[in-house]
A and B are shown apart, each in its own frame.
Chain A
Amino acid sequence: MFSYYFDLALRSLKRNRVLTALMIVAIALGIGASMTMLTVLHVLTGNPLPGKSQTLFYPQIDPRDMADYEAGEEPPRQVTWIDGMNLLREKRADRQALMTGGAVPVQPTQSALDPFFSDARYTTAEFFPMFDTPFRFGHGWTAADDEARARVVVITNELNNKLYSGKDSTGQTLRMKDTAFRIIGVLGDWRPNPHFYDLNMGDYSGVESVFMPLSTSRDLHLPLNGSRNCWGRGGADEAHFENASCVWLQFWAQINDPAKVAGYRDFLEHYSQEQKTLGRFQRPANVRLPSLMEWLDINKVVPSDVRLQTWLALGFLLVCLVNTVGLMLAKFLRRSGELGVRRALGASRRAVFGQLLMESAVIGLAGGAGGLLLAFVGLWLVRRQPSDYAELAHMDVAMLAATVVAAVVSTLFAGLLPAWRACQITPALQLKSQ
């Protein structure tokens, strides 16, 4: 039965090529546009650390003075050096890391390469185990290295390819800002999206090329990158940031046991009160402890333009579907005579309905294939855009399957009304008018 209907559908579609082509093109355009945008949205709303993200938290505390105070306001989105160091020393979470962004002048020993600036992450040791970073060669540094302000560095695979043509470079010396660093690790391919651990660097920017202990970067006065907010007598130059009333560091905590999250929040509360008693904090304790995914929501990392474009594409798909309903209705009703004969020869309404739906499904499949092609073109266009998420716009298997399913389901849905309408034909009337 199935293959017979399929055959009938193909014959019928061939009979009226223009109308068929119009329907397929409309479905393909609608599906192509929608799936392009949904894929982009899918990529951008993804989890940067699947399986791990629920154990990662971003503590927020409010160290500011009473100027500009408003009760219930969100605490700053970064921490001061003093608070970061205090939280780090307390070690109340399973793992914790304090970090900030920067840029370092890299001076390759190879004469063929000019010195260049590289983005850098200055962080404490537990960054690597906490974020499960893959290592191609070597490993990260230890808390002892942090303490000793060791001249050690971890570089990305990309930089390793550029400087050492992909060979194991651990143990080699890398000169940066006239200082010799020992390479102790090379990261494997790692590009968490969004760049969740520091959203000031561009929400979807790639991973920094150079990682080194935070203490080392401060010791050498390496240039900082990112956002800083100061209050009161804040506003110091970079060399004196440790004592400034400015927030400029990110602090992350890993809490494996969900039952301990409330305990950590209490600790933050307690810490704020203690600092207030000491006179460092002035505002009433105001702490938050968003999880990684909550933190991304708070920061509205998904560009509103992308959401708007997705709505637009879905609206376009709706128009395309209405268009297809109309065309299919025209096509089915035009065949009233043929359908009348089938009915008169004993085909049940159900059978005719099934036959017509099969025809819709075939259009849906063809439209889906076209849509898939257009989605690939669309994503290629998105990748050529200047935005920092552009290079991420790739189709994965899930979206590929979703595209085809969406096309067939939506076309079947569009075929329901015309097929039902065509089934209402009274066979006798149709036969008479022949």
Chain B
Amino acid sequence: MTTVGNPSSDSPDTRALPRITAGAAPDGADRPRILRVAGPLVEITCPPAVAMHDLVVLGAARLPGEVVAIHGDTATIEAYEYTGGLAPGHPAEPQGRPLSVRLAPDLLGGVFDGLLRPLAGIGDLLTAGETAAGEPERHTWSFTPRVAAGGSAAAGDVLGEIGAGVPLRLLVPPDLSGEVTWVAAAGDHPSDGVLAVVGGQEVRLEQTWPVRRPRPVARRLPADVPLNTGQRAVDLLFPVARGSTVAVPGGFGTGKTMLLQQIAKWCDADVIVYVGCGERGNEMADVIEELAELTDPRTGGRLAERTVTIANTSNMPMMAREAGVHTGATVAEYFRDMGLDVVLIADSTSRWAEALREFASRRGELPAEEGYPAGLASQLAAFYERAAAVRTLGGATGSVTVIGAVSPPGGDRTEPVTAHTERFVRCLWSLDRDLAYARHYPAVSWSESFSRDAAALAAAHARAGDAAWAERRGRVARQLAEADRLADLVELVGITALPPRERINVLAGRLLREAAIQQNALSPADAYSAPGKTAALVEAVLTVIDRCLELVDSGIPANAVEAVDFSPLLRARETAGPAETAPVTAARDSVLARLKEAA
């Protein structure tokens, strides 16, 4: 039936892909071979020893993939690269170990793909071979031993400290304990150099860890220490604790990425792991460039030095996007184990969920809601559970806070990813399209967001000497809700139809929004707001509002109060530096003086 023509010679510029004839594998029939290729889904013949989630290398181009199903003598592989040219009959090599990444202090300041392969130092365009060729950048670190040879050490114990902008430590790996037979002398060592021998095994700064296996801890701790994000809308109304979880749902154009980038730049964590997951390339380029230029106000170093960036843009292979969030969580846990507070930012988890859906569809899994696999909810829950405040194996405290963006299609909050995510997170910063269209940034909606950490954090603020924190937050929330309610009325009957106190409450809503809640990400003075400045701004606005209410109660007409020039107060967030309070107080006093004139 088959007519066999003359294979004509390829034109000179046609790069022939390797052709290996099915059934004629040179190494005999028992060597695993590829059976089927459909995009990222590859089926291979499966030797009995292959286990779920094992790494498999595919074809002559040695594309990495992961076993996701085993059925009889075939295994289904999820490939992490473009599989063009891969054909049935090509070889497959199970590696006998799960997908793992190299963890080392050198990750700080680096940019990686979803499998943690370095993107710096390779070509302009990412082809399969190009990404695989990236060599990890190894730095030299100054090491100071903290144990002496002869003692014993258990998993997680500190063997020494590493001089760097971020305080790093060399730990006994999680699965090791025993006698310390040798420790390197103080001095500079490369990250792949042996620094100690524990229980007969060499311990290096760099180590590998399977991405889908959470790193062990001694126990989880309650999350009750505030993470100061520097964003007033969040710190004031919907605060997040170190080790907590946040979802940020928002339609396109509501400023999700901008808010997350602001937090990556300014929050007071020790290490940031920024996972750009299926998002824009130009945006990624922008964040990489800005982090490299901005100074960390706490260490004086560059912000990039505390950041690990995982860049899997929307046109990079989709399945590496799926692995990317787990890779990010593993990197975050690695630094957490050193006793550090880490923030893991995933932008956007919806793109990750889409990768899950895409692959489930190719596997022919029965779809649940909107084509997503039935396991979507449990996968989302498992990802957010990698966040925690913990007692590490070595007895230190550390935390991983997870902040995940959600991109609901059509802004529809009932779609599966948004709906499930809301159930698993402790904080929700819901971004509102109307606020964004009114250029009110960050567009965190006060009516549709929540923070289940607020009570614990109020206690923490009270312990830290700010007993009025909870009262202030409650007052702001009430005032904003009241202003919203009245705004609906004003649209119907006009402002002049309201009683004086209500008119002042409408004014109060505007003052709170414009003077305290809004924040200009592009302004050096306002991009970041220290807790003291946030408290001072809120206190100033509330004092002014109270004074206005007193005035109308004493019979001053509401329009006389409304006509007062409040602009010093509105400009205070720009005139005061990120951690200054005195200019805010001065602005408050100047407005109070004007109110006195009006009285």
Please determine whether chains A and B interact with each other in the same assembly. Answer: no
